[in-house]
Amino acid sequence: MRKAVAGHPQPRELLRSGRIVTVSSVVGVYGRMAQGDHMAARPGIAGFVRALAAQTSRFGIRVNAVAPGPVGRDMSAIVPEKTRADLAETTVLRRFGRAADVADLVAFLLSDEAAHITGSVLEVPSAISL
């Protein structure tokens, strides 16, 4: 991906702006039992986002990541209700987020209203309580 976006130097006149938003997970920030794969991969995504933001900022490209907490969606329906309830209780808001919560944040990061945000990993809908 890096090469496709930033691998070929471009004169600033040809490439004046752009936005990249990737989706990660709060699991990479806070960790959870039996999710070592997330713990290994998600911080790498955060580092990649920060490095790519630094590399592409000269071209006016902003790079950010969204790290959702538990989000109610079709896939979560297969999780037993007790497990879902326990997981919801670990969030600050004590509930699952909505897919729209994540989509709204992505839309904001893609907008001109977020013109000064780059190299950030933003958590949504809420951080896992410690």
Give the model confidence (pLDDT) of 61-83 as tens digits: 999 999 887 777 666 667 788 88
pTM summary value: 0.74
d(CA 31, CA 28): 6
Is residue 79 one of the residues assigned to a domain? yes
- The amino acid that residue 75 corresponds to is M
Is residue 56 one of the residues assigned to a domain? yes
Task: Write out the residue range of the structural domain in which residue 80 sits.
Answer: 16-124
Is residue 10 one of the residues assigned to a domain? no
d(CA 89, CA 12): 48
Number of domains in the chain: 1
Per-residue pLDDT at 66: 92
Cis omega (within 30 of 0) for bond into 11: no
Q: How far separated are the first and last CA of the chain, in Å rounded? A: 34
Token code pair at residue 114 = 């977020």
Give the confidence band of 130 by pLDDT, cuts at 50, 70, 90: very low
Is residue 39 one of the residues assigned to a domain? yes
Is residue 130 one of the residues assigned to a domain? no
